[in-house]
Structure 1
């Protein structure tokens, strides 16, 4: 779902955002060639995804089990910038407590007391040196999670404090993005999972120097993959958003780049076609190209000159329900009242289009799939981003190509 936000428009005072770096010359040249020749990037063939994949509880559980083996993006550094800052999250039913450590790193703990299983922190966020379970008062150091205090300790058998701290979950921060890995695979750094291509895309966005301006979560009666499909689809705007984004963007022209499990789709503003026809587009192309970067399996990031929008889509054991978390990040050193006004306007446009057009359509698709869970959905050759996601899921879950 591309949207008529201002991020397609060049801003002379935004040059320090280096927005052109993530749209390299090769992408711009390919896009201009497509515009001039009425072509687009295409897959080798259509693929057919079983409708059952959107309605089966067994499939939903298998997808969750898969995600638990992968690095998952759960937070941004601006949510806990200082030592002692913490946030709590629930990820697939697992209560997480993330705390900024004294050395500047972030550590995720299981929010569970080693005594009788109570929550050691019930707040959503804050700053603490010690986390204390409200059930019996057992306390843990926020820095490292070690057990510090056991009330009435003499009434227990000897307790080894070194083995009764909070359970730690592998946590890494890359470019301000905080990932947890439930598999605790210490041999797989997040940087290796992302790969150099993804890192090259997100590095110029200065995410580590940004703050969350707007954040909201939506729980919807839609399978998580349908939500992903809708957000990365570029063919539907002329039909679903005829008075909005369809007037601004080319809906059947695009460039796709595969980065292993991850992928990125680039789309063009219609203004670029005019510039190309006049021979003026060679040095202006990247100012009129937007992209949607998918970090497999459930995160999407759209870079704009004034903000970065990113979605995290969380499946549930119910295949017909998911939660979408959307954040707008803005670099702190450019956050003026005027920038904030424009970014909030972009948010309003997004929220209106999603809630009144995209999500109702996806709910109908979900209802239809539930009513008739047979056959397949077809993903055409130009629907490369969605194809890429479903192909990778099939490889990981079924060990085969779609």
Structure 2
């Protein structure tokens, strides 16, 4: 974020507050409940979005040294990430090319070779087949180059490892990620590390979980016992960054800007900044740390979430871990207030009470997000 943008965003919200106005969309929108319930719709999202667009597979710090690896599910596919001796990142399908068994079962570690537990075919961390037991007699004409691990397009940039869950894709990483990479550099993503993390499963559609974070209309109600008292009532703004989005959620201290020179204004002191990295990740910037919410949609009505607290890597030290764990617990407790409401709303949709959800003029970011979803599905209505 450029300094001029930071000042302009604060100035805009401060002006709205002083004028007792709100950041309003032009019209009220209706969101069909099929968006959140349809199995066919979910299958289309999986095909056209989750397995087509660059997804965040890991933070760079999760593979800290040569030989590091990690396994993870990515859009329903088994992923193996490796870092070679030159510190380059590789992304493969975690599948043996001989008989299809899962190649690596450990979640993370450090090794330079991966041996299948079924027949011990072995690959190095660059995906090259290096060992086949009894090859001379059993596979006399084997072309090892034809049996490399199946590679997925990957890019390491701005402290993040991006992967496309389609071995045949030819993604334009620069065009798709350009706007968000600049923001990541601004808030120091390359110099951060994960201080605490946990995984939960919520019975709600992935889009409903995103929508719950990109408006402030609910703060004083849903979060009245936690963060609600610290934020201005029903005031926020948003901007599209290509397919992505930046939302600004101002705190009560925004009022103090009138007594400060603009040169001293700092957006993270007077607001939370939320980056919605389309499609599945959100980064909530607080004053001294970042909450990372990463979604793994399981079905139309169920989503796995990985919740992580990130801090500058120099501060993720043993003597600081109790501090970050406390922060993480507070953040998770607050997020669960949203997620519990989302799960209840998903159950409400199943009742048939509503044919559509209604986005008021305070909730324009929700419609913007859904239009982005539909643009990748080729939908216009």
Contact 2:153 2:171 in 1 (8 A): no
Q: 1:220 to 1:110 in 2, by over 3 A?
A: same
User: What SS does structure 2 have at the residue aligned with 1:169?
Assistant: coil
Normalising to structure 2: TM-score of the pair?
0.92
Q: Which residue of 2 aligns with 1:127?
A: 110
User: What SS does structure 2 have at the residue aligned with 1:253?
Assistant: coil
Contact 2:295 2:305 in 1 (8 A): yes
Q: 1:337 to 1:106 in 2, by over 3 A?
A: closer
1:72-92 CA-to-partner distances (Å, cap 9, x unmatched) read 011111111111110001123
Q: Which residue of 1 aligns with 2:221?
A: 239
Tell me by how many angstroms 1:310 deviates: 1.2
The answer to whether residue 171 in structure 2 is matched with residue 188 in structure 1 is: yes
The answer to whether residue 374 in structure 2 is matched with residue 391 in structure 1 is: no
Tell me by how many angstroms 1:255 deviates: 2.1
1:271-324 CA-to-partner distances (Å, cap 9, x unmatched) read 222x14x533733352202210111111111122322211111212x2111111
Q: Which residue of 2 aligns with 1:291?
A: 273
Moved more, 251-260 or 214-223: 251-260
Normalising to structure 1: TM-score of the pair?
0.88
Tell me by how many angstroms 1:35 deviates: 1.2
Q: Which residue of 1 aligns with 2:330?
A: 349
Tell me by how many angstroms 1:183 deviates: 3.6
The answer to whether residue 319 in structure 2 is matched with residue 359 in structure 1 is: no
Q: 1:341 to 1:127 in 2, by over 3 A?
A: closer
The answer to whether residue 360 in structure 2 is matched with residue 380 in structure 1 is: yes
Tell me how far apart the structure 2 counterparts of residues 213 and 133 of structure 1 sit (CA, whole Å): 32
Structure 1 stretches of 5 or more lacking a match?
A: 1-18
User: What SS does structure 1 have at the residue aligned with 2:152?
Assistant: strand
Aligned residues: 377
Tell me by how many angstroms 1:185 deviates: 6.8
Q: Which residue of 1 aligns with 2:234?
A: 252
The answer to whether residue 201 in structure 2 is matched with residue 219 in structure 1 is: yes
RMSD: 2.1
Q: Which residue of 1 aligns with 2:211?
A: 229
Q: 1:149 to 1:335 in 2, by over 3 A?
A: closer
Contact 2:153 2:170 in 1 (8 A): no
Q: Note the 1:50-129 alignment, pairs <5 A.
A: 50-66=32-48, 67-129=50-112
Tell me by how many angstroms 1:347 deviates: 1.6
Tell me by how many angstroms 1:399 deviates: 2.5
User: What SS does structure 1 have at the residue aligned with 2:212?
Assistant: helix
Tell me how far apart the structure 2 counterparts of residues 69 and 182 of structure 1 sit (CA, whole Å): 7
Contact 1:22 1:201 in 2 (8 A): no
1:51-80 CA-to-partner distances (Å, cap 9, x unmatched) read 111111111111111221100011111111
Tell me how far apart the structure 1 counterparts of residues 115 and 357 of structure 2 sit (CA, whole Å): 50
Q: Note the 1:258-337 alignment, pairs <5 A.
A: 258-273=240-255, 275-276=256-257, 279-280=259-260, 282=262, 283-284=264-265, 286=267, 287-316=269-298, 318-335=299-316
